A and B are shown apart, each in its own frame.
Chain A
Amino acid sequence: GENVEQHPSTLSVQEGDSAVIKCTYSDSASNYFPWYKQELGKGPQLIIDIRSNVGEKKDQRIAVTLNKTAKHFSLHITETQPEDSAVYFCARQGYTGRRALTFGSGTRLQVQP
């Protein structure tokens, strides 16, 4: 179906280290993969997204990679900073079916100063 599995559920890194969060999906019709960041007391906010015709996308310290064959995509954060501490959600949307995102279960990232 349209499920998305996200791992790990919690991640603790030292400031300056890299963090990687992985998601897998099952629907071959998926063609859009955004990542959202939710800070404490706020709603999620889009930080980066990728479409199925692209294998990698970068924006400063964050990058997303997509492997369509294996049906997984990952968020990479380099040189982590304390302000990166938040809950991160991956999501997918297909070119068929409903106009809505299916979200993963979330990863709580803690960056230790």
Chain B
Amino acid sequence: DVKVTQSSRYLVKRTGEKVFLECVQDMDHENMFWYRQDPGLGLRLIYFSYDVKMKEKGDIPEGYSVSREKKERFSLILESASTNQTSMYLCASSQFSGIGSNEQFFGPGTRLTVL
């Protein structure tokens, strides 16, 4: 059974802290994604990666960075957490076929609260 796991379901941090959100997939997928989910705004893409050490900015990359040192792991980093980064963070992975798209598999999400 395919699986995307995220390191925490709930996280509470203080303003200014450095925050690491970890995501691991066991499907040998090339592509990995980080989204944030806010009510009424859907899923907004923060960053994605289509290969080890490769990354591309999504729609809302400001205040975030990412790291992909191994194929199965994609980390989202909040360099200095702020209250407006309180949100649900979702990680996903997919096997890109090159002919349009492929299914994205999502983790259960991390609900981050920044105080």
Instruction: Give the shortest distance, in Å, between B22 (CB) and chain A (any CB).
Output: 15
**A27, B58: Cα distance in complex, Å:** 17
Considering the complex, which residues of chain B in the window 28-59 have a beta carbon less than 8 Å from any beta carbon of chain A? 31, 33, 35, 40-45, 48, 50, 56, 58
| Contact between A101 and B100, CB atoms less than 8 A apart | no
Q: By the criterion CB–CB under 8 Å, are A100 and B90 in contact?
A: no
Closest residue on chain B to residue A2 by CB atoms: B59
Shortest Cβ distance from B9 into chain A, in angstroms?
9
A-B contact count (CB 8 A): 60
Asked if A105 and B42 sit within 8 Å, CB to CB, the answer is: yes
What bracket does the count of chain B residues touching chain A fall in? Answer: 20 to 34
User: Is A31's CB under 8 angstroms from B92's CB?
Assistant: no
A103-B43, A105-B42 known; A34+B101 contact, CB < 8 A:
yes
Closest chain A residue to B109, Cβ basis: A43
User: Is B106 interfacial (CB-CB < 8 Å)?
Assistant: yes
Q: Which residues of A contact B (CB under 8 A)?
A: 6, 9, 31-32, 34, 36, 41-46, 49, 51, 89, 93, 95, 98-106
Which of B's residues lie within 8 Å of A, judged by CB?
Answer: 4, 31, 33, 35, 40-45, 48, 50, 56, 58, 90, 92, 96, 100-101, 103-104, 106-109
10 closest cross-chain pairs (CB), A and B: A43-B106, A32-B101, A105-B42, A103-B43, A32-B100, A93-B101, A103-B42, A46-B103, A106-B42, A44-B106
